[in-house]
A and B are shown apart, each in its own frame.
Chain A
Amino acid sequence: MSALVSILMGGVFHASILFLVAAGLQVVFGVQKVFNLACGSFYALGAYFGVSAVQWYVAAGGPPAFFIVPLIAAGALIGVTGVIVERGLLSFVYERDETFQLLLTFAVVLMMEDAIRLTWGTAPVSTSGLYLVYGQARLAGAAVPVYNLIVIAASLVIALGIGWLLTRTAFGRIIRATADNREMAEALGVDMRRVYAKVFTLGTALGTLGGALVIPATAAMSEMGVELIVEAFAVVVIGGLGSMRGAFVGALVVGILRAVAISVYPELEMLIIYLIVITVLVFRPRGLFGGAAA
């Protein structure tokens, strides 16, 4: 029983991180119709930047118990990279073919990987020793790091916040209108350039925040971005492209299955996820929540 809880909670923790990245992917796809492969790179960037921020914080004598403050701040702040990528690169190819946009985001993946190696080196970096600073909680006999529970709660709060933003605020309704019919939104006075810049930045910040939140539990490595793209892809296929609810449910499915697979048969870690992806693609190609923008 306690082993099962421990596996499940590990899966939910991973799902929380995965949800943030996938939510960023979904909002960008929903509004801009660009499948942003670089979401994984933003995740990696957030992780490295988070490590640096925490190392700097610790070196400056900050109390370890509050390391999460510089971590979250760094993860959210580095999201501004999104504006640069959107205005500086993507904005030039909106009129082009979708394949071209996809290739461009792939170019960003390669560039960011090199930029990260150049800045932080090739060896993994980590915030050693801070993971268990909040101790462990006992859940049905299993020891669960309190930090994991904080991240799960934070991710839930962000999910609710996104829901609130999309359904209750003027900006959210403009986002949904743009996702529905871009030309019509423009005729109602919506400045597409500004909406795209904001949405892409939001999507990027969700990815970088996800990366920052994961690193107390694991080291930052340059391949982490590409690994996550594969998982985020599985999440959106299962959940349905462009859907926030889909990202939520898809992340839970992928996160938990991956955790179960790792503990039962580690070699099958990704295989089981691919199997589900293929099953969904064959029997329900639009995903569980495909077609709904929110």
Chain B
Amino acid sequence: MLAVKNVDVYIQASHILRSVSLDVGAREVVCLVGRNGAGKTTTLRTVMGYLRPRAGTITFKGVRVDGRRTHEIARLGVGWAPEDSGIFPDLTVAENIEIATWTRPGGSPAAERLARAYEVFPVLKTYAARKGPEMSGGERKMLSIARALALDPEMLILDEPFEGLSPAIVPVISASIATVTRLGHSILLAESNIHHVPEYADRLYVIERGEVIFAGQPHEAWKDPGVVRVIGGQT
């Protein structure tokens, strides 16, 4: 579904990503794990078209997307929930979710998409008339994912969906993401805490200083000395 091949990214003069490759298959949950500043967000933002790779290719559903503009990539079927949730504070919860049904018509009908978003995060329904600033961090994360779902995407990209959340809310969001995978969406998820990697993850990539240092099954990661050195020390 998504194939990132040997991508090099520079931000101004600094070389941030070095020959990064990763794949996400249909219905797969793939985790990109790395410490703060390792290059996770940069990788995801490059896939979303905010940054242009200087070398390498990115294809989605067989279509080259590197060099495409962000809204085109979104309309191809990539949903994006950024690290800071990116809630539109001036819009209500319902309006936040509805946007994608106007910008990407076609596919399933709008009502069905909205119903699905609320089905995964039923609590949002009760907040439908609230505005962004009145929401907690966990509610923002939920809204961010629900809004991306309303785009009716084949793949969802989630940047640290558990970051900054109270331990009580983490399982709630984790369960919701599991529901999303059962609806047939692929998921690419960035995470800095390896203990937050959901048990249903199909594959794991470990990134360090802009390089992918491990790719494989989650349980194999613990046997890799390089990985343990980088992320094993964290609790």
Task: Name A's B-contacting residues (CB within 8 A).
Answer: 170, 173-174, 176-177, 179-181, 183-192, 292-294
Q: List 25 A-B contacts (CB under 8 A).
A: A170-B98, A173-B91, A174-B102, A174-B103, A177-B88, A177-B90, A177-B96, A180-B89, A180-B90, A180-B91, A183-B50, A184-B82, A184-B86, A184-B88, A187-B70, A187-B82, A187-B86, A189-B75, A189-B100, A190-B71, A191-B71, A191-B103, A292-B90, A293-B90, A294-B90
In the bound complex, residues from chain B placing their C-beta under 8 Å from that of A192 are 69, 71
The dominant DSSP class at the A interface is: helix
Task: Name B's A-contacting residues (CB within 8 A).
Answer: 48, 50, 69-71, 74-75, 80, 82, 86, 88-91, 95-96, 98-100, 102-104, 147-148, 151
| A189 touching B74, Cβ below 8 Å | yes
Please measure, in the bound complex, the distance between the C-alpha atom of A186 and the C-alpha atom of B102, giving whole angstroms: 13
In the bound complex, residues from chain B placing their C-beta under 8 Å from that of A293 are 90
| A176 touching B70, Cβ below 8 Å | no
| B88 touching A187, Cβ below 8 Å | no
In the bound complex, residues from chain A placing their C-beta under 8 Å from that of B91 are 173, 176-177, 180
CB-contact partner of A187 in B48, B95, B98, B102, under 8 A: B48
| A188 touching B100, Cβ below 8 Å | yes
| B70 touching A183, Cβ below 8 Å | yes
Please measure, in the bound complex, the distance between the C-alpha atom of A164 and the C-alpha atom of B49, giving whole angstroms: 33
Please measure, in the bound complex, the distance between the C-alpha atom of A123 and the C-alpha atom of B91, giving whole angstroms: 49
| A180 touching B88, Cβ below 8 Å | yes
In the bound complex, residues from chain A placing their C-beta under 8 Å from that of B69 are 186, 191-192
Quick one: closest A residue to B50, CB to CB?
A183
Question: What's the least CB distance linking A148 to chain B, in Å?
Answer: 35
